[in-house]
């Protein structure tokens, strides 16, 4: 019975090209909005750094405000290029690499299981885009 339902849910190839830009957009929105938050809500985010059990490691890497602004810039820029499907693999890689230290130092902490696994799921989407490429309706497909 479940297999029959699964077969009925199969949309076939006709929706594949439509879902590609939607997937890129929905994946990138968290980075664009979150990246803007790195600038507009910097005080709130710096408080998370202060509360992090990994604070000493963050400080060893650099000034938290500078790191926050840098990651915000990467999130916004790569989020926009990911939406457009321009330099998709590089954008996904930049987001993935930027997300790893944030996930470890901010979300790998007690009472942060939800945000931790949200980031893990997002990393999965970024890996998918990195391996598969932009799909349909992407600027990458028009470049020579």
pLDDT, mean of residues 114-138: 94
Contacts 24+ apart (CB under 8 A), 54-60: 54/104, 54/105, 54/106, 54/108, 54/109, 57/105, 58/105
Percent of the chain surpassing pLDDT 70: 99
- Give the residue carrying structure tokens 């009925």: 8
Residue range 31-58, pLDDT digits in tens: 999 999 999 999 999 998 998 899 999 9
What's the pTM value of the predicted model, to 2 decimals?
0.89
Q: Which two tokens stand for residue 1?
A: 């019975």
Q: Which CA distances in Å does 73 have to 32, 38, 93, 115, 118?
A: 9, 8, 15, 21, 21
pLDDT, mean of residues 14-42: 93
The answer to whether residues 55 and 106 touch, using CB atoms and an 8 Å cutoff, is: no
**Higher pLDDT, residue 78 or 105:** 78
Domain ranges of the chain: 20-134
Predicted local confidence at residue 1, as pLDDT? 87
Predicted local confidence at residue 144, as pLDDT? 56
pLDDT, mean of residues 70-90: 97
pLDDT, mean of residues 75-87: 97
Predicted local confidence at residue 107, as pLDDT? 85
**Mean confidence (pLDDT) of the chain:** 92
């Amino acid at each position: 019975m479940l297999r029959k339902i699964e077969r009925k849910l199969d949309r076939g190839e006709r929706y594949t090209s439509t879902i590609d830009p939607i997937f890129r957009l929905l994946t990138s929105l968290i980075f664009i909005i979150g990246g803007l938050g790195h600038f507009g809500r910097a005080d709130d985010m710096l408080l998370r750094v202060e509360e992090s059990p990994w604070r000493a490691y963050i400080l060893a890497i650099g000034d938290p405000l500078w790191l926050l602004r840098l990651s915000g810039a990467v999130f916004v820029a790569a989020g926009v290029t990911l939406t457009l499907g321009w330099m998709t693999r590089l954008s996904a890689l930049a987001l993935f690499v930027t997300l790893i230290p944030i996930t470890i130092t901010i979300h790998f902490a007690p009472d942060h299981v939800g945000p931790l696994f949200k980031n893990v799921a997002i990393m999965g989407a970024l890996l998918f885009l990195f391996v598969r490429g932009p799909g349909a309706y992407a600027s990458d497909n028009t470049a020579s």
